[in-house]
Amino acid sequence: MIKRIISLLLVVVLILAALPFSAVAVTDDVSNVRFLAAVDPPAVGSIPISNRAELAAINNNLSGKYHLTNDIDLSDGSWVPVGSIGVGGGFGLHEFKGLFDGQGYVIHNLTIRGDGNVFAGLFGAATRDAIIRNVGLEAVDIDVSNNGGSGFPTNIGGGSYNNTYGSTAGGIAGYGGNISNCYVTGSISTSAASNLSGPLGHRTAISGGISGYGGLISNCFFVGSLSSSTQGNGAYSYAGGISGFIETNSYYGDGSVSNCYSVANISLSTTASYSMFDTASAGGICGFSGGNATVRNSYWSIDSVQSVNGAALATSDKKGLGSGVGQATALTSEQMRQQSSFSGWDFINVWTYRSGVNNGYPVLGVFFPESYTIVATAGAGGTVTGSGTFNQGATVTLQATPNTGFKFDGWYQGNTSVSTNATLTFNATADRTLEARFSLLPGAPTFDNPHSGWAREELERAFIEDLVPPLLRAPDVDLRAPITREEFAGVVVLTYQNLSGIIVPAPPVDSNPFTDTRDIYVRMAHSIGIMVGTSATQFDPNT
């Protein structure tokens, strides 16, 4: 006769050969989404925006507070900028004046094309007090023009605008705004024509990576291409990697750029013959910086192309500021991949680097936060879920589940007890490895009696793997005794389920063909054809 203990040990060997055991980390599948970094929560009363229609509706209340709740794709049509100047006459009537917080989300595929565009961008025009922050624009495609008329933005404080100043575009804003923690990638082109024959009026085409004209711009970057083209007398072209044109004016005040960088290929062309300013001016940071406007602590790629009227400039002729003064430092592509190149920048709370992202150039932490690996392991007697990679501040929830006959004892980090709750929730602030520990419930077999103590470890393993049927779980069971047919049915069914992963359904009692046993494992073994009775109605369970 086969002993009970031999049956169980054979089963353990079989299972171990098929399914090696270890206390392994369980890593959940974390989808490739952008998690929020440690940004401030939306302002009180802020209106959530989740789609194109809600984004466009900002035009209905230009003084409101708004925040994004997810990325938005604008590839389904040309974008109409939020806010404008001169519609209905004068300044201060139709610019965006409120708060827009991207919350670390990105707007994709913004496209603006066509003639008659004065100020183009996500925002057409914004006041000095309008706050635009924490939003990224990827794959921008702006190609706008405005031909005919006269005028030049040096007298912007004077009132009537009447679509006479040419075409000005920036990724975030065509005009103005207090812009911070933003980035733009893509292509921005402007063009304008003038038929003037004298210097009394001037037509401009201005392209900027972040803002076309003016603005208070900090902690932003642009990667892409810029083009500005004008034709005719009194026509001027400006382009800058961050801002095309910043100056001092009576309406807007002093413009500024700080802690920004660009990697921008810039192309200018013009046929202007009169000179109020330089007729074509390109800069890695600003095309023109005048008045009391300030540019400081900003960097641009000297490896990028700058060309005027079709001729590429020599490296020695490239500029960070096309005209004007300020602090715009040239860096090679390799230098831009080194944190030490960006003197005075905050690489703890604002900027960071991410391997394989943005060609190795710096990125803003609000879009690419620190991530941490949380590993949960299960000791003998249970399972765990919830491991994975989480961004700074994200909520982590670990769950421990004991196996049958076991209880959860607690979560441990090393030998330090962390929690006695099976559900552990915390915010990710560092890499962590936590172990869920389990122990046998009172009354569970310990297999340390004189009859089976020599194989205690293997027998407890069989119990952990749920291979010991209830009939053999009594603490005082003598595992040296021969195993019965009824007991063996339990061992066979549990082994089948463990190896195959198939849970055998319990047949109804009234379908049981045997009159001498109603044991559930006997019925299950018979239903799948792995055991039969000694006759049509007898099973002989105790033999």
For residue range 215-230, what is the model confidence (pLDDT) as tens digits? 899 999 999 999 999 8
Query: Is residue 50 over pLDDT 80?
Result: yes
Per-residue pLDDT at 134: 97
Please state, in angstroms and rounded to a whole number, the distance separating the CA atoms of residues 52 and 220: 24
Cα distances from 304 to residues 5, 315, 375, in angstroms, run 77, 9, 43
* pLDDT single digits (tens) 456-479: 666 666 766 677 777 776 666 777
Q: If we measure between CA atoms, which residue out of 243, 330, 342 comes closest to residue 294?
A: 243
Beta-carbon contacts of residue 514 (< 8 Å; ≥ 6 apart): 522, 526, 533, 537, 538, 539
Q: What is the pLDDT of residue 498?
A: 77
* Cα separation of the two ends of the chain: 10
Cβ pair 105, 138 in contact under 8 A: no
- At which residue do the structure tokens 């404080």 appear? 157
According to the model, what pLDDT value does residue 250 have?
Answer: 57
- 488, two tokens: 């063996």
User: Strands, DSSP E only, in 414-502?
Assistant: 416-419, 423-427, 432-440
pLDDT at 104 over 90: yes
Q: Give the chain's mean pLDDT.
A: 82
Dihedral sign for Cα 491, 493, 494, 497, please. positive
- Looking at residue 157, the DSSP 8-state letter turns out to be G
Proportion of the chain above pLDDT 70, given as a percent:
78
Among 39-53, 402-416, 419-433, 467-481, the range scoring the smallest mean pLDDT is 467-481
pLDDT tens-digit readout, 321-368: 988 888 899 999 999 999 999 999 999 889 999 888 999 999 999 987
Tell me how crowded residue 439 is: count the other CB atoms within 10 A of its CB.
Answer: 15
Q: Kindly report the pTM of this predicted structure.
A: 0.65
